[in-house]
Amino acid sequence: MKRFVTSILLALLILPFTANSSEAAVAFLDVDSSHRAYPEISYLAGGNIVNGTGGYFNPNKEVTRAEAATMLGRALNLNGTKRATMFKDVDSGSFASGYIQSSVEKGIISGYQDGTFRPEQPVKRGEMALLINRAFGYGGSDTVSAANALMVKGIAQGISPGNFGYDLKIKRADFSVFLARAVNYKYRINASVEFGGDLQIKADSLNVRTGPSTNFTIVQELPIATKVEAAYRVGDWVFIRSAEGEGLVHGAYLTGTYPSFMNKPLPASTPLNEEMIIIDPGHGGKDPGASGYGIQEKAVVLDTALKVKALLAKTPFSYKLTRETDVYLTLSQRVSLAKSVGGDTFISIHANAFNGSANGTEVYYYGTSATNPYQSDSKRLAAAIQNRLLAAWKLYDRGIDQGDYHVLRENSMPAVLVELGFIDNKKDNEKLASAWWRQEAAEAIYLGILDYYKAKGYNVTYLYNNVN
C-alpha cells in the first residue's frame, strides 16, 4: 500500500510536465479536450500567455501582429505596460502597446519604413518562424533558416513534406502549438533536449515551475547549492534539470557555468529610459534673440524644439525642455534646470545673425575640461548633429567649433549649442521661417542625437523609423 501511494504522488508531481495534460483547468467553449491543440492552448492559458474573449479562444482566427507581439511578450515576461510607442498607428491605450514597444526594443519584431506597425495585419507562417527564432535566440536570419531551426528542434513542422507554407497566414491554434513547444520542450515532436553546464541554486529555496512565470504551477522546491544542468532559455528563465526533476526557474537564482550550446539570451533591456535629454530653446520672453525679415529667433527655436520633443516622445528616452512657452529664463536657470532633473545630454537651439553678411549652420561645444569635463562626448554630439543638419538643410558648412558659452561651460553633461542658420541672411531665413523646414531641422537634430547614442553603444536602430 505504501508503494502504491508513493507511485501516485510521483505521478501527480510529473503530471503538469506531460505534453498531454493542461496546465490548469482553463476552459474555452470552442476548444475541448478532443481539439488537436488542446494541451498546448491549455498550457499557455494556464500561465496567462494566451486568453480568449467571452469564453471563446477562436482557434481558427488568424493571428495579428499585435497578438503575436503580445503572446511572445507574455511568454518572455517583457514589459507589457500600456504606453506610447514609436509607431503612429499604435495608440498608447492599445492592449498590445507595451508588448509591441518591448518586442521592438528587444529586436524581436520591427515596423515598416513608413513609421507604421500595422497591428491588425495577419502573421504568415514564415514570419512566425522568424519571430520565434528572434524571441528564443535560435539564430535563424531569414524565413527559410528560421523555419529549419524550428523543425530541427521539433517546434514546428510543414503543412506537407517539403512545404512549410511560408506565405500562409497562421491561426491562433497553430501559433499556440509552436509557442508552447518553444517554451516547454515536453510538447515538442520527438521531445528531447540536451542538458549541460555546471550550475547551482543560489537562493535559499527556489521554486521550479512548469512555465516561465509565477503564473505556472510549482512542481518542486530546490534548496540552496543544489546542482543543476541547463538546456535553454525562455527570456530570463531557464529550463533546468536536477536529480529531483526538471522545470523552469528564473536565471537570476542560478550561479555557475552555462553550457555552450544554450540559446542566446535576449539583449538587456534598453537603458534609454535612463537617459535624460535636455532641449533648450534659446532666448524667450523679454529676450527675443536675433531677428530678420519679420521673424524672431525666440519663436523659431521654440517651434523647432517642440518638434524635437514630439519625436522624442515616441522613444524610451526621458526628456525635458527648458521652456515650452514664450518665457524668459536666465542662462543660470537653464543650466540649473538641466542639472536638477539629472540631464545626461544638453542641446541648446539658436539662430545666428551677423549684419546679413554671413550664412550657414554650425554647432558649438565647450572645448576644455576646466568646468565641463565632457569635452569628447560634447564634440561627438556636435559632429553628429552638424552632419545631420547639413544633409537636411544643405546650407553652408561652418563646421563645429569650441564655444565659451555659459550653457556649455557651466553644465555637467555633454552639451552643444546649435546655430541653425543666420536669421538675417535671406537664404537661411527662408528655411528658418518655414514650418516645413523647421520640421526638417527637428528631425536632423533628433537623428543626430540617435547617431550620438549609437556611437556610444546604445541600441537605437529601431528609433530611426520615427522620421519616416
Per-residue pLDDT tens digits for 417-454: 999 999 999 999 999 999 999 999 999 999 999 999 99
Phi and psi at residue 174, in whole multiples of 5°?
-70, -40
Would you say residue 4 has pLDDT above 50? Answer: no
The radius of gyration of the chain's CA atoms, rounded to the nearest angstrom, is: 28
Q: Which CATH number is 196-257 given?
A: 2.30.30.40
CA distance 314 to 80: 16
How confident is the model over 70-95, as a mean pLDDT? 92
CA distance 324 to 388: 24
Q: What pLDDT, on a 0 to 100 scale, did the predictor assign at position 269? A: 66
Q: What pLDDT, on a 0 to 100 scale, did the predictor assign at position 141? A: 83
Topology given in CATH for the domain delimited by 271-467? Aminopeptidase (3.40.630)
Phi and psi at residue 352, in whole multiples of 5°?
-95, 170
Q: What pLDDT, on a 0 to 100 scale, did the predictor assign at position 270? A: 66
- Are 166 and 126 contacting, i.e. CB atoms less than 8 angstroms apart? yes
% pLDDT > 70, the chain: 94
pTM of the model: 0.69
Q: Sketch the domain layout of the chain as residue ranges.
A: 2-187, 196-257, 271-467
Q: What pLDDT, on a 0 to 100 scale, did the predictor assign at position 140? A: 83
Model confidence pLDDT, tens digit, residues 271-293: 788 899 999 999 999 999 999 99
Model confidence pLDDT, tens digit, residues 141-182: 899 999 999 999 999 998 888 899 999 999 999 999 999 999
Catalytic site positions = 419
